[in-house]
Structure 1
C-alpha cells in the first residue's frame, strides 16, 4: 500500500541536477541564436525584410503574411524548445530518454480529462490575477513591448479558413504543449526538485521562470498561475503527458475562441476581462480547489509500481 501522504518518487537520474539545468540554459541560449539565424534566412528567401514585416504585422495583415508568421513562429519554437530538449535527450539520457522525461507511461484517460478541466477552471482566476497585474506600475518600455506582442498575437489569431485554424492549432497549441513541457517540466522542474528537495518549491520556481521567459509583463502573474497549474499536474502524476494534454487544452481553447468568436475573445489581455462576474470567479475558484484536492487524492492512491505497468515499452 502506498503512503497516501507522500508524492510519487522522482526518478533516480545519473547526472547532478545543477549540471543538467546549466546545460539546458546554455543549449536554449545557443539554439535561440541558431533559430534567429534560421528565421532571418527564411525571411530573406521569402523576400521579406524581417524588421519591417514584424513592425507592420497585425490583425489586418493578409493570409500569405499570416502563414509566413506562423512559419517563423514554428521555427523559433522548434529551435528554442525542441532542439535543446532533444539535445539533452541525446547527450545525457540516450536510450533512456523517454523514461527520463517521464513520457514512457501511457496517460490515463481520466487524468488527461481532469487535467484539461482543471486548467479550464483556472481561466477566471487567471483573469483576476491579470487585473492585479495591470494595477502594477510598469516602465514605458515594458508597456510598449507588451503592445507590440499583442499586435502580433492578434494577427496570428486572425483565421479565415479551416486550414488556417488547423495550422494555428498546430503552431500555437500542439507544438508549444510538447516542447515547453519537455523543457519546463520534464527537464527544469524535475531537476529543480532534485536540487531543492522540495516539489512545491520546484513547481513555483519553475512557474516563475516559465512566465518570465515569455516576456509578457502585463500577463506575468496569470502565466505564473498557468505554469504552477501545469507544474502541479506533473508533480502529482509524474507523467509528462498529463501536463502536455492540459497545456494543449489551454492553448487550443484560446485558438478556437479566436476562430469562432474573434481574436479579441481569445486573449487574456483585453479590457472586457476587467468586468468578469465575481460569481463566476468565486464559483470557478471553488471548483478549481475541489478538483485540485480530487486530483491530489487519486494520484496519491496509485503506487509507482502500478503506474509503471502501463509503459509504452510493453
Structure 2
C-alpha cells in the first residue's frame, strides 16, 4: 500500500505488477515494491511475532550468537568450491524438457527475472543485492528456520517433522511470492 501510494499505482494482483515490467519507467517502483514486500513479510512480521509471544526471551528464542570469523571464511571457501557442482546441476536441469503447459511459465519467469536484474549503474547492483539477496535470505531464515521450524518442533517434539514441514511450507510460499 505504502509503495503504491508513493508511485500512485494501484496493484490488485501480481499479474498487474508484472505487467509493469514491460515499461522500464516502473523498474524503481517494482524494486521498491519487492524490497518492502520482503522486509514486511519475512523480517518485520516474524520479529513482531517473537516480540509479542516471547518478549522476555526475544534474543534467546532467535538463538542469535557470535560466530567466529574463521567459520565465515570457511563458509565462503566451501561455497566457492561447490560452484562447479552447482553449475553441473544447472546444466542437468536445463536439459529437462518441460511439458508445453509449463514451458511458458519458465519463459515468463526468465523474462521477469531478466527485467528485474537489469542494472545500469553500481547503485542498481547494490539495490539488487539488497532486495534479491540480503532481505529475502535473512528474512526467510528468520521466518522458516528461526520461527516456523522451531514452533513446529515445540508442538510436535519431532525434529524431522519440523524440518520437513518447514521446508515444504518454504517451497510452497517461495513459489507463490
TM-score tier by shorter-chain length is 0.7 to 0.9
Residue-pair matches, total: 171
Unpaired segments ≥5 residues, structure 2: none
Give 1:164's aligned residue: 124
Unpaired segments ≥5 residues, structure 1: 1-37, 217-314
Q: Aligned partners of 1:148 and 1:111: how far apart in 2?
A: 39
Change (3 A) 1:126 1:170: same
TM-score, normalised on structure 1? Answer: 0.46
From 37, 42, 63, give the equivalent of 1:81: 42
Give 1:244's aligned residue: none
Give 2:70's aligned residue: 110
Q: CA offsets, 1:127-167, max 9 Å, x none?
A: 44443486375572x44334333222211211111111121
Shift in Å, 1:49: 5.4
Change (3 A) 1:124 1:184: farther
Structural mapping, 1:242-257, within 5 Å: none
Confirm or deny: 8 A CA contact 2:17 2:30 kept in the other structure: no
Q: CA offsets, 1:163-207, max 9 Å, x none?
A: 111212221222112211101111123334443533x55445433
Give 2:173's aligned residue: 213
TM-score, normalised on structure 2? Answer: 0.76
Q: Aligned partners of 1:100 and 1:75: how far apart in 2?
A: 25
Shift in Å, 1:73: 0.1
Change (3 A) 1:193 1:118: farther
From 14, 17, 21, give the equivalent of 1:57: 21
Change (3 A) 1:189 1:112: farther
Give 1:42's aligned residue: 3
Say what the alpha-carbon RMSD is for the aligned residues. 3.0
Shift in Å, 1:83: 2.8
Change (3 A) 1:91 1:107: same
Indicate yes or no: 2:77 matched with 1:149: no
More helix by share: 2
